[in-house]
Structure 1
Amino acid sequence: MSNYDYIEMKVPAKPEYVGVARLTLSGVANRMGFSYESIEDLKVAVSEAITNAVNHAYNDNESGEINIGFGIYEDHIEIMIADRGESFDLEKIKQETGPYHPEEPVEKLREGGFGLFLIEALMDDVKINNQYGVMIMMSKYIAEEEVDMDDDQISTTQ
């Protein structure tokens, strides 16, 4: 197994903590050598996953937490977003929200449910475990053109 660093955070399931995770991820991804565009994709995917947990995992009268983990490898990052709240039927959500066809009138478009589709579109690999809450594991690889492989360091801003 390859060596990696791991950063873990636990935040309250409240909207004001989404930015904390985004800022942490942005710093880590920048240091790893991800491009600006890839960092923005990572931030959107993580924001969607955490926002889903904030909005859907816990009842209004229930306070909950969201666990966030970053596995930092030489060529990619693995991100885990997990809660212990209510789960959902992934296949049912996929059927209810998509697919969309260009010939459908705008009035027929359905609201909500795009977060998971967006995460899958922006990340290289996504796995969802919805037993005992929801855990989303997502990975993104550093594109070869983003890092000069002859450099002895990835980040130039040390």
Structure 2
Amino acid sequence: MKVPAKPEYVGVIRLTISGIANRLGYTYDDIEDIKIAVVEACTNVVNHAYEAEEGQMTIGCGVYEDRLEVMVADRGQSASVDVLKDNVGPISTDKPVTQLKEGGLGLFLIDTLMDKVEINNDNGVIIIMTKFLQRGEVEQNAGGISATTTDRQ
């Protein structure tokens, strides 16, 4: 699905992914987790991928017997994956809200709610989020964002 990178399309994407997850038999809580992660990924595109020009975001779903993979991609300003990963971190409960980091909370949420997260920034940013249908099928190494980058000279 390819839609304009505008806030009014995020709800359409959320509803579509929710319907697919429901069809696959995910629990209510898992569907809510998937929806939040997808909304965060789409909101990152809307807010950060394109500056002046109008852009599009591409959403794809991989439907498998044991998992759902959701891809959110843009062709906007490429952020460094290493910088993105450095900004992802747990929220410190000993600091007041005014001292929390502004960036990275969306990626932190995505990483927390999904079983596996991969980011590629070869041309724009592509984030692939995986949620396994049965909790016992979560890979041991699934905790943490993996990244693929290509150095362009």
Q: Normalising by the residue count of structure 2, what TM-score does the alignment of the two structures yield?
A: 0.81
SS at match of 2:57: strand
Please give the alpha-carbon distance, in whole angstroms, between the structure 1 residues aligned to 2:28 and 2:90. Answer: 30
Number of the residue aligned with 1:101: 92
Q: How far off its partner does 1:99 sit? A: 4.7
**Per-residue CA distance 1:86-136 (angstroms, 9 max, x = gap):** 011233244346454333344422223201111010111100001110000
SS at match of 1:126: strand
Question: How many residues are matched?
Answer: 136
2:49 aligned to which of 39, 53, 57: 57
Please give the alpha-carbon distance, in whole angstroms, between the structure 1 residues aligned to 2:94 and 2:40. Answer: 27
Q: How far off its partner does 1:141 sit? A: 0.7
**Larger relative contact order (C-alpha < 8 A, sep ≥ 6)?**
1
1:40 aligned to which of 6, 20, 32: 32
Please give the alpha-carbon distance, in whole angstroms, between the structure 2 residues aligned to 1:40 and 1:110. Answer: 25
Question: Is 1:86 aligned to 2:77, yes or no?
Answer: yes
1:20 aligned to which of 1, 12, 22: 12
Question: Cα 1:54–1:143, aligned 2, differ >3 Å: closer, same or farther?
Answer: same
Equivalent residues in 2 for 1:2-13, closer than 5 Å: 9-13=1-5
Name the aligned partner's letter for residue 58 of structure 1. Answer: Y
The gaps in structure 1 that reach 5 residues or longer are 1-8, 146-158
Larger Cα Rg: Structure 1 or Structure 2? 1
Number of the residue aligned with 2:22: 30
1:77 aligned to which of 68, 82, 87: 68
Question: Is 1:121 aligned to 2:76, yes or no?
Answer: no
The gaps in structure 2 that reach 5 residues or longer are 137-153
Question: Cα 1:95–1:33, aligned 2, differ >3 Å: closer, same or farther?
Answer: same
Task: Give identity over the alignment, percent.
Answer: 57
Root mean square deviation, CA, Å: 1.8
Please give the alpha-carbon distance, in whole angstroms, between the structure 2 residues aligned to 1:144 and 1:35. Answer: 11
